[in-house]
Homo-oligomer: A and B are copies of this chain.
């Protein structure tokens, strides 16, 4: 007795900690500011470092914090809005395209992709790699799968790979009449190569945007784009390009 029992339904420590830190971020820190290191913070709150880290992971997932090994933990800016599916009814590589073409290869796509493209199994397709940068920061990495018969005019003279070839593939695509496109978004984790390109560790949470480009009743191209989930807010079907989302997030305890 004498000990006041406030927690009738004891909330996990890390969850409570997340709330406390979240409020501290709103009131006492400004964007870009660095937090005390994890060992100090854990000691200050009287918890083990693992528990403190659980709270930080939550906040990072919500885009409130940014952590970098060897550097520290900083307060993240509000997520940036990146528009997806504007360029509605437009092929990739068009004039209003936010992507930068990297290179191209002739590869056998993963089974999931081959299934969506009606092409036969083990049929190699043009695989264009592109990346998207916004506000000086990489936000997405894309693989664009284009079956050979979607770009019949493609000259066989050029090398089968490289940046020039990639641009040629995109150029040929514009000749097709685009019926419509279908988008899907799901949560994924960054593969090692995507992670490197996005400046994150493998396994980092990403939003995977899959776009089917449909022409002549068939899937003429398939794009699989992985966006950094911590820094991006995907906007659909509205006007205009990149916008900054303003104000604090709505997720709170």
Q: Which of B61, B186, B189, B249 contacts A234 (CB 8 A)?
A: B186
Q: Which of B85, B112, B187 contacts A63 (CB 8 A)?
A: B187
Q: Which of B187, B232, B250 contacts A110 (CB 8 A)?
A: B250
Classify the interface of chain A: helix, strand, loop or mixed. Answer: mixed
Contacts of A250 in B (CB 8 A): 110, 112-113, 188, 208, 224
Contacts of A123 in B (CB 8 A): none
Interface string of A197-237 (1 = CB under 8 A from B): 00000110101100000000000000010000110111111
Q: How far is the CA of A249 from the CA of B115 in the complex (A)?
A: 12
Asked if residues A58 and B203 are in contact (CB atoms below 8 Å), the reply is yes
Contacts of A224 in B (CB 8 A): 250
Which A residues from 150 to 183 make CB contacts under 8 A with B?
180-183
Which A residues from 237 to 253 make CB contacts under 8 A with B?
237-238, 245-253
Asked if residues B185 and A247 are in contact (CB atoms below 8 Å), the reply is no
Q: Which of B81, B187, B251 contacts A61 (CB 8 A)?
A: B187
- Size bin of chain A's contact surface: 35 or more
A79 within 8 A of B: yes
Asked if residues B234 and A237 are in contact (CB atoms below 8 Å), the reply is no
Q: Which of B12, B115, B189 contacts A251 (CB 8 A)?
A: B189
Q: Given A85-B236, A88-B237, do A251 and B185 touch, yes or no (CB 8 Å)?
A: no
Q: What are 10 A-B contacts with C-beta separation under 8 Å?
A: A81-B184, A85-B237, A110-B250, A111-B247, A112-B247, A186-B232, A187-B229, A187-B230, A191-B251, A224-B250
Q: Identify the A interface with B (CB < 8 A).
A: 12, 15, 18, 58, 61-63, 79, 81, 85, 88, 110-113, 115, 180-189, 191-192, 202-203, 205, 207-208, 224, 229-230, 232-238, 245-253
